[in-house]
Amino acid sequence: MNSSSKFVIKVVAVLGLSVAITAAWATTGVFHVEWKGLLRDTHGGDISGKAILADLPRSPQLYAIGPAAGLAGEITIIDGRLFLAKVRSGSIDTSSDYQGQASFLVWATVPQWQDAVPIGQTVVNAVDLERLIETKARLAGLDTDKPFPFLLQGRFNSVKYHVVLPPSAQGMHGSSASPTDSQLDLRAGGKSGTVIGFFSKKHEGVFTHRGSYSHLHVSLEDGNSGHVDDLEVAADVSLLFPRT
């Protein structure tokens, strides 16, 4: 283990029989990535609060994504600004309330970003984008075996995104269905905004979905935000990586 990067996992005993990951952090150079809770636990039905938003550092260097506790919306933090998107009467209502919690949250403190550069080619879906991000990150000097955040800024050809609904709004009391099965699906075309993403090849089920190395949220010029399911990105959209 060298002085520029380290990895720590905290565990707690559960009735003396097993252990559960509760929080972790990893540092690489001058930025660091942290998380609390696990994506797979949320999908498994544990939607209780794991990360208290008021405990996060209040800084323009803060970036974060995750679902609100109880699946009461989507949390997106960009440049220290919180976008808490909730579904109300079939549309998105966005607030900046730091009083809530997240069922899981991944965040990063990024003191400096590298200069923005055009992504350089049209990317037609999230799978292709993920491959390109890994290649570009390596060229930018990042260690792609460690987690890192990235930004996309500009006008997006198409963004498919969603905001989760709490079980009480899904009419699912007593149901055996997954509490994450219901959401408000949205699509935007030709709108400007910012995508905050977290990339890791080693954290599937922790803060990336199974079969994926990235987790993305978007904040659009119309004020809407949410979890990105798919997107099409033009070659002139700017890509930013943390300075190392």
What does each of the 244 residues of the chain score in pLDDT, given as a tens digit? 443 333 333 333 333 333 333 455 555 558 989 999 999 999 999 999 999 999 999 999 999 999 999 999 999 999 999 999 999 988 999 999 898 999 999 999 999 999 999 999 999 999 999 999 999 999 999 999 999 999 999 999 999 999 999 987 655 443 444 555 589 999 999 999 999 999 999 999 999 999 999 999 999 999 999 999 999 999 999 999 999 8
Please check whether residue 32 is in contact with residue 112, taking contact to mean a CB–CB distance below 8 angstroms: no
Please calculate the CA angle 20-21-23 and round it to the nearest 5 degrees.
145
- Name the CA dihedral angle for 112, 114, 119, 124, rounded to a multiple of 10 degrees: -30
Cα distance between residue 159 and residue 177, in whole Å: 27
Q: Which pTM value belongs to this model?
A: 0.84
165, two tokens:
């609904």
List alpha helices for 125-243, DSSP H.
Answer: 126-139, 167-170
Q: Which residues of 70-103 are buried (b: 16+ CB within 10 A; e: fewer)?
A: bbbbbbbbbeeebbbbbbeeeebebeeeeebbbb
Cα distance between residue 90 and residue 144, in whole Å: 39
Domains of the chain: 5-108 (3.30.1330), 117-240 (3.30.1330.80)
